[in-house]
Amino acid sequence: MSQPFRGLIPICRKEYLHIIRDPGTLFFALLIPMLQLFLFGFAIDTNIRQIPTVVFDESQTQASRDLLQRFAASDVFKLSVTARSVDEMYNAVRSGKASVAIRIPYDYDRHLQDGTTAEVQVLVDGSDSSVAGQAVNTATGVALTQSLARVLPDGNMPIDIRPSLLYNPAMRSANFFVPGLIAILLQVMIILLIALSLVRERERGTLEQLTMTPVAPLGLMVGKMIPYGVLGFLELCAILAVMRIVFQVPVHGSALLLLLMSLPYILTLLGIGLVISTKAKTQAEAFQLSMGTVLPSVFLSGYIFLIQNMPLFFQGVSRIIPATYFIRILRGIILRGSTFGELWPNAAILTLMGCAAILLAAHLFVRQRA
């Protein structure tokens, strides 16, 4: 065909009118992701603090109170329940009132005086693995420092490890999760909006009318992509502003580079939305298919779970998920201040994916209208 993009400008203009005429869509597009950002941004905190802890102190001595004080001072444990028997202690854990139980035996002080090993029992509810891990580590740490303090009363440690955390020194969860969340929110919004827009035309019969006009398939598709791409880009800017101002996540790299590198991701999402729109017959179906893309992106993109820890098969899957690459770009620029030179392969892969998705959508569209 001589004019592969025929009809692009009128479609673009018409789509813009649809968007501004439909406050519902606009609300959905701009406000819902923002609400989700606030919700998730505040809710997700993987730093474990204040684990409810039950204490059964049989010793009731100065030494035992001193030890418990150390546990409390770690900020990891919250000594919220006091048990008077072993049964009471177990019950507190079983009922969920406490996740950790600390039992100091009656002979604790005597062992310390004798210079023999004093045993302190720490029971950890293993049903939440991250809580359990943190509890075990901290308890061991408390015991170790307490022991060393006894062995080396002058306080001079033979080895002093001084860890220094690069990029996220405060270990704030928001710094790690909010950049990833941006990729997910953008994905939900863009794929859904563009897919619905095309399926709506099919449902209402205007698509049939368009196929009778000289509008070219690419003209139709790209004409729809531009307004929704712009909308997605504006939403990205808004989300980034909230991240910076509300969640106080510093951007270590170039914000301009980040915005530039978001373009291939947006392109890919638009392409996926178009492919979905050729498969879905109703808006409800388009909605389901769009939502179906979200779960893999949440779990297999490295947003929550480290890709290196996944079984090989899922590592392979993560490689075909666009969010994987954009999350790398986001975290790279925001957290580590990465440069174009380090991140360009991710952007290149996204660009290829985007073009492939659009061509596939155009192909499916032409085949289907027959």
Partner 1 sequence: MTPPAQAPAITASHLTIRFGQFTAVDDVSFEIGKGEIFGFLGPNGSGKTTIIKALCGLLTPSSGTGTILGMDIIKDAAEIKQHVGYMSQKFGLYEDLTVQENLDFYAGVYGLKGPQAAQRKNDVVDLTAIRTYLNRRVAQLSGGWKQRLALGCAIIHSPQVLFLDEPTGGIDPVARRTLWDLFFHLSGQGVTFFVTTHYMDEAERCGRVGYIYLSKLIAIGTVEELQHLPAANPPDTVRLQIDIPDASQNLAHVRTLPGIQEATIFGRSIHALAQHGQLEAIRDALPQAHITVIEPSLEDVFVTLTLGIMEKSK
Q: Applying CB under 8 A, which of residues 21, 159, 169, 308 lies at the interface with partner 1?
A: 21
CB 243 within 8 A of CB 178: yes
**Which range touches partner 1 (CB under 8 A), out of 101-109, 143-151, 207-215, 262-270?**
207-215
Tokens of 192: 């859904």
DSSP of 41-86, one letter per residue?
Answer: HHH---S---EEEEEEESS-SHHHHHHHHHHHHTSSEEEEEE-SSH
Contact between 18 and partner 1 by CB under 8 A: the answer reads yes
CB 51 within 8 A of CB 134: yes
- Closer residue to partner 1, CB minimum distance, 1 or 284: 1
Q: Applying CB under 8 A, which of residues 6, 103, 224, 328 lies at the interface with partner 1?
A: 6
- Closer residue to partner 1, CB minimum distance, 9 or 144: 9
How far, in Å, CA of 269 to CA of 285, rounded?
A: 18
Contact between 368 and partner 1 by CB under 8 A: the answer reads no
Please provide the size of the chain in residues.
370
- Closer residue to partner 1, CB minimum distance, 100 or 215: 215
DSSP 335: I
Site string for partner 1, 130-169 (x = CB under 8 A): ----------------------------------------
Contact between 227 and partner 1 by CB under 8 A: the answer reads no
How far, in Å, CA of 358 to CA of 364, rounded?
A: 10
Q: What are phi and psi of 49, to 5 degrees?
A: -135, 155
Tokens of 112: 């310390």
Q: Applying CB under 8 A, which of residues 163, 205, 311, 341 lies at the interface with partner 1?
A: 205
Q: According to DSSP H, which parts of the chain are helical?
A: 8-21, 23-43, 62-73, 86-94, 108-114, 129-151, 173-204, 206-211, 217-245, 255-279, 283-292, 294-300, 312-319, 322-331, 340-369
- Closer residue to partner 1, CB minimum distance, 25 or 268: 25
| C-alpha R_g of the chain | 28
**240-299: contacts with partner 1 (CB under 8 A):** none
Q: How far is the CB of 10 from partner 1 (least distance, A)?
A: 3
Q: Is the dihedral of CA 58, 62, 66, 67 positive or negative?
A: negative
List of E strands, 276-320: none
Contact between 82 and partner 1 by CB under 8 A: the answer reads no
- Closer residue to partner 1, CB minimum distance, 204 or 319: 204
Q: How far is the CB of 198 from partner 1 (least distance, A)?
A: 14
How far, in Å, CA of 252 to CA of 278, rounded?
A: 40
Q: How far is the CB of 290 from partner 1 (least distance, A)?
A: 22
Q: Residue 201: in which H helix or E strand, if any?
A: helix 173-204
How far, in Å, CA of 151 to CA of 307, rounded?
A: 43
Contact between 60 and partner 1 by CB under 8 A: the answer reads no
Contact between 341 and partner 1 by CB under 8 A: the answer reads no
Q: Residue 171: which region, alpha, beta or left (left: phi > 0; alpha: psi -120 to 50)? A: left
Contact between 113 and partner 1 by CB under 8 A: the answer reads no
Q: How far is the CB of 317 from partner 1 (least distance, A)?
A: 35
Q: How far is the CB of 225 from partner 1 (least distance, A)?
A: 17
Q: Residue 163: which region, alpha, beta or left (left: phi > 0; alpha: psi -120 to 50)? A: beta
**Which range touches partner 1 (CB under 8 A), out of 18-26, 66-74, 86-94, 251-259?**
18-26
Contact between 362 and partner 1 by CB under 8 A: the answer reads no
Contact between 209 and partner 1 by CB under 8 A: the answer reads yes
Q: Applying CB under 8 A, which of residues 206, 248, 288, 368 lies at the interface with partner 1?
A: 206
Q: How far is the CB of 2 from partner 1 (least distance, A)?
A: 8
CB 184 within 8 A of CB 303: yes
Contact between 13 and partner 1 by CB under 8 A: the answer reads yes
How many residues of this chain bind partner 1 (CB under 8 A)? 26
Interface positions with partner 1 (CB under 8 A): 1-2, 6-7, 9-11, 13-14, 17-18, 21-22, 204-206, 208-215, 369-370
